[in-house]
Amino acid sequence: MAKTAAKSKPLTAFDILSVAEPPRAAGMCVLAGDDGFLAHEACRALATAAAGEGWGADTRDGRSAEYRDIHDLLCERSLFAEGGSVVVIEDADPFVKAYREQLEALLDKLPDDALLILQVSSWPGNTRLAKAVAERGLTVTCSRPDKGAGMAAFDKQLKDWLVVVAQRDYAAELARPAADALLEQLPPDAGLLSQEVGRLALLAEKNAAGTAQIDAKLVREHVGGWRARKTWDMIDAAAAGRAADALAQLDRLLAAGEEPHAILPQMASTLRKFAVAVEVFKETERRGQRPSLRFALEAAGVMAFKLNDAEQQLRQIGRGRAAGLLPRLLAADLSLKDYNSGKDSARRVIETLIVELSQEAAPAR
């Protein structure tokens, strides 16, 4: 397996993913950027091209990997091994920082059929290692430019790739105006857009050859705002005490690319109204008047068309839990901004809040 020749033009993930046969890389390959989906897909394509279907790659965590182990995996051969070695190091920034000099030396020692893939979020091009990889390895950008002409080029490549994804993965034909409409309706998130193409392929009519036809009309009818609607459905389920339903919808939202940090504010906007309604209810009692849940909810800002549902939800939550929602939501918000800022930890914060609102956790009446 020959080592990859130097590239006069930097590659992007789409240069790897939009071709029928990805380049068969060897040596050292760096996937640089903050788009985890693009990095994962590019890594899979390169590893499959090098090692065949099923990857055959040894994946290590860059936060705990030791250089000596990586060196042995790449440079030593098992008696019964066939072909070269493919090693993938995920979250490789700390690994690169700790072993930069060793990696520079490794570039000249790697066997012709060995491939080391480093997934990093940051890759300054002025370092000796970066220059060496550019000359004797492969560097692939896996992120969207922040500004400038690069953004237009990224969007074009993204649309071209979506056409390929539709045909290759979903047996569908994505019309160019439909690709334009997708990026008008949704953020330029490759993972989210890929899932949307798959969903649209299920909804589209098929031609005589059995190919689903995705046009701009179908996109405009079925895309745009669906995550927002599902988020409100999840909040309603949580407030109604249906934890299993709410957790399932939360899982779908996160799988579709929604961020926990965007979900909590929407939950808080609804749940705060229940807390305010309890305070209005208590103030009415203190004045010696007969309180009304409906009046309290209206005073808290609940829209008229939601009053019937909100009244049932508040009864389910109960006076005690509703009264404690404001400090609970504040604690959740501070948690997401502090030690639970990671996506997995943030998810647990929301899941805990949903469970606390469940019928099973309801206080005794």
Say how far apart CA 37 and CA 162 lie, in whole Å. 14
- Enumerate residues 6+ apart whose C-beta is below 8 A from 364: none
Does a structural domain hold residue 2? no
pLDDT for res 6: 45
Does a structural domain hold residue 316? yes
Confidence of residue 56 (pLDDT cuts 50, 70, 90): low
**Strand pairing category for 57-61 and 86-90:** parallel
Check whether 336 has a pLDDT greater than 90.
no
Residues in the chain: 365
pLDDT for res 1: 39
Confidence of residue 5 (pLDDT cuts 50, 70, 90): very low
Does a structural domain hold residue 6? no
User: Where does a domain end: 163, 196, 224?
Assistant: 224
Does a structural domain hold residue 115? yes
Strands (E), 42-165: 57-61, 86-90, 115-120, 138-141
Confidence of residue 84 (pLDDT cuts 50, 70, 90): low
Same domain for 352 and 309: yes
Same domain for 134 and 21: yes
CATH classification of the domain holding 15: 3.40.50.300
pTM for this model (two decimals): 0.59
User: Where does a domain end: 95, 117, 141?
Assistant: 141
Does a structural domain hold residue 111? yes
Closest Cα to residue 314, out of 287, 335, 332, 291? 291
Does a structural domain hold residue 5? no
CATH classification of the domain holding 198: 1.10.8
Classify 329 as helix, strand or coil.
helix
Q: Describe the chain by its helix, strand, coil percentages, rounded to 5.
A: 60, 10, 30
**The one-letter amino acid at 197:** V
CATH classification of the domain holding 317: 1.20.272.10
Same domain for 52 and 31: yes
Same domain for 34 and 128: yes
Q: What is the pLDDT of residues 277-305, one digit of tens each?
A: 999 899 888 888 887 888 888 888 776 66
Same domain for 218 and 253: no
Same domain for 35 and 52: yes
Which has more pLDDT, 253 or 20?
253
Same domain for 192 and 136: no
Say how far apart CA 139 and CA 30 lie, in whole Å. 5
Here the tokens at position 73 are: 């995996």
Closest Cα to residue 193, out of 252, 185, 121? 185
Confidence of residue 8 (pLDDT cuts 50, 70, 90): very low
Whole-number CA gyration radius for the chain: 26
Q: What is the pLDDT of residues 207-263, one digit of tens each?
A: 888 899 999 988 887 776 656 667 778 888 999 999 999 999 898 888 877 788 878
Q: Please give the mean pLDDT across all residues of the chain.
A: 84
Does a structural domain hold residue 168? yes
Closest Cα to residue 161, out of 38, 34, 35? 38
pLDDT for res 214: 94
Same domain for 240 and 212: no
Q: What is the pLDDT of residues 159-180, one digit of tens each?
A: 999 999 999 989 999 999 999 9
Q: What is the pLDDT of residues 60-72, one digit of tens each?
A: 999 999 999 999 8
Counting residues of the chain whose pLDDT is more than 90, the rounded percentage is: 37
Same domain for 94 and 157: no
Confidence of residue 191 (pLDDT cuts 50, 70, 90): confident
Same domain for 209 and 119: no
pLDDT for res 173: 95
User: Bridge partners of 118?
Assistant: 30, 89
Same domain for 135 and 154: no
Same domain for 205 and 252: no
Domain range for 304 is 227-356
DSSP state of 304: G
Total count of domains within the chain: 3
Q: What is the pLDDT of residues 317-333, one digit of tens each?
A: 999 999 999 999 999 88
User: Where does a domain end: 106, 123, 141?
Assistant: 141
Does a structural domain hold residue 314? yes
